[in-house]
Amino acid sequence: MTKESYEKIFRQIAAIPNGVQGILVIGKLMTVVTALVYFAELFAQLFGKQWRGLAVLILVPGISFVLVSLFRNLYDAKRPYEVYGFTPLIPKETKGKSFPSRHVFSIFVIGSSLCWYQPYAGVLVCLMGCLLAACRVVSGVHFPKDVIGGAIIGILCGCLTGVLL
């Protein structure tokens, strides 16, 4: 996307009453709902004494999150607001570390992992991931490639859950 396309999107969102606030709320809501669904399944595994399932559900997202974070630090891709010099809709001062989007990666690795336990919940979380990805792009904190990469890596890592169960 170009600077002009981000600025056009910003103007369109700003023209909607509470548009900017809506983007912020949607992003936070998707994150909180995902965490609640994830922890609910962790507790279900714990109380059901499904030790292997619990371990896999903790280790796959946890280890892959650390590996993605290390890669982001090494690759250190610039964010749209750094490249184009605008202020993003989501308050952010982070420099670099844009690829892949860790927010989008996280929601997709959790959603894909949950699909092995609770398919409907997993699909719901992945659908919320699509909405979160759109919010991250239209707010100017990520390029489309950042969120697409995060989603693909998250899905692939989540597939490891099925292999390990």
CB-CB contact of 158 with 110 (8 Å): yes
- What is the rounded distance in angstroms from the CA atom of residue 44 to the CA atom of residue 40? 6
- What is the rounded distance in angstroms from the CA atom of residue 52 to the CA atom of residue 55? 5
Mean pLDDT of 120-131: 98
Q: What percent of the chain has pLDDT over 70?
A: 100
CB-CB contact of 140 with 89 (8 Å): yes
Give me the pLDDT at residue 59, please: 98
Q: Which pLDDT tens digit goes with each residue over 6-52?
A: 999 999 999 999 999 999 999 999 999 999 999 999 999 999 999 99
Q: Say what the pTM is.
A: 0.96
Give me the pLDDT at residue 91, please: 87
- What is the rounded distance in angstroms from the CA atom of residue 150 to the CA atom of residue 47? 31
pLDDT class for 103, splitting at 50, 70, 90?
very high
Q: Which pLDDT tens digit goes with each residue over 52-73?
A: 999 999 999 999 999 999 999 9
Give me the pLDDT at residue 93, please: 85
What is the chain's Cα-based Rg?
A: 17
Q: 89: Cβ–Cβ under 8 A, 6 or more apart, which residues?
A: 10, 13, 20, 23, 24, 138, 139, 140
- What is the rounded distance in angstroms from the CA atom of residue 28 to the CA atom of residue 36? 12
- What is the rounded distance in angstroms from the CA atom of residue 153 to the CA atom of residue 155? 5
